[in-house]
Amino acid sequence: METHQVRYFLALARTLNFTKAADECHVTQPSLTRAIKKLEEELGGPLFHRERANTHLTELGRAMLPHIEQSYVAAQSARALAEAFKRGDVAVLRLGLSNAVSSHLFTEVFNGVRGSVPNFELAVEGGPESQLREAMLKGNSDLIVLTEDGATPERIRTWPLFNENFQMIVAASHSLAAKAPLMLQDLDGEDVIERTKCIGCQRLRQLCTASGVMPRFRHRVDSIEQLLNLVRAGFGVGFIPRSDRLAEGIVSRQIEKVEIDRKVSLATVAGRPFSAATDAFVKLSRMRDWAADLAAVAV
């Protein structure tokens, strides 16, 4: 099915007149008739009943009409989008954001890109870091935000953005909420809720083992929302990056003499060209005062 056949069919379905349809499409009537006949051969039956003063759609024609209309609209939209890209009218940023990084940190960066790049379009995809790296290598995203978890392929170029500490979180009613200072030994016998593939939790486990402290790592969750809900419900304590926002009824506590942190970076495929939006996001992210942002979250 060719584009001109689709256009001729829709014009004829609208006018129900071969002469008017041909005029509308700026072709001769015989050309339009041949195109319709060829389309009918491709679809396996007549699309119109040809009557001198009463041309109308057949059952097959009525059945095909919405599908052909949809394909025509999709083709026109694709063509318009392609033209917009050629003119530079569309600036798309396709960003992969690790599940381990809170998206609210980048809201102001997004606003900065939107304010400086006309016709900015944003597509954010979350997921595990290994999946995001693979998707970017395949061309499915322009940039990804990662922690230092996992090996980075040589083809990927990275820019460090900020380092942040991890902190304990407990329900406000928990006995550890009022303890000062909080020591690593205070976790002995406590239930700890782990977040899946969390660097901080893994290091906390290792540190506890090396220090002879034995908390119970008995609950596991996949998201910060799930973790906060269980902590607030009294299932145990959590260990989260400083940038994660707390919920009502939960307080954060630093563990004395325990420094567990992570590095958050921006990554792309080396040598891959940037759109205006992607370039702006990289520049604004690297210029940002992340220490001030993290301090604001902690307040």
Q: What is the CATH number of domain 91-162+263-298?
A: 3.40.190.10
- The predicted structure's pLDDT at residue 295: 77
CA 46 to chain centre: 46
Burial of 273 (0-12, 13-18, 19+ CB in 10 A): exposed
CATH top-level class of 165-261 = alpha beta
Provide the CATH topology of domain 3-87.
Arc Repressor Mutant, subunit A (1.10.10)
The C-alpha atoms of residue 187 and residue 176 are separated, in whole angstroms, by 9
Name the residue type at position 93. Answer: L
Q: Which residue has the higher pLDDT, 189 or 152?
A: 189
The pLDDT tens digits for 67-112 are 888 888 777 666 655 654 555 556 888 999 988 888 889 999 999 9
Q: Is residue 277 predicted with pLDDT exceeding 70?
A: yes
Q: What is the pLDDT of residue 272?
A: 84
**Contact (Cβ atoms closer than 8 angstroms) between residue 92 and residue 64:** no
Q: Provide CATH 1.10.10.10 ranges for the chain.
A: 3-87
Distances (CA, A) of 260 to 65, 179, 207, 255, 293: 63, 20, 10, 10, 19
pLDDT (tens digit per residue) in 116-139: 888 888 999 988 888 898 899 888
Amino acid 193: pLDDT:
96
The residue count for the chain: 299
Confidence category of residue 210, pLDDT binned at 50, 70, 90 = very high
Task: Return the pLDDT at 299.
Answer: 53
DSSP class per residue in 104-139: GGGHHHHHHHHHHSTTEEEEEEEE-HHHHHHHHHTT
pLDDT at 298: 59
CA distances (Å), 201 to each of 14, 195, 217, 239, 250, in order?
65, 7, 9, 6, 18
pLDDT number for residue 89: 57
pLDDT reading at 18 higher than 60: yes
Q: Helices 29-43 and 3-15 sit at what angle, rounded to 10 degrees?
A: 110
What are 229-249's pLDDT values in tens digits?
Answer: 999 999 999 999 998 989 999
* pLDDT tens-digit map of 149-163: 555 667 888 899 999
Q: Tell me how many degrees the CA angle 101-106-108 measures, rounded to the nearest 5.
A: 160
pLDDT of residue 128: 87
Residues 288 and 193: their CA atoms lie apart, in Å, by 32
On the question of pLDDT at 28 being above 90, the answer is: yes
Position 297 confidence tier, pLDDT thresholds 50, 70, 90: low
pLDDT computed for residue 82 by the predictor: 60
Residues of the chain with CATH 3.40.190.10: 91-162+263-298, 165-261
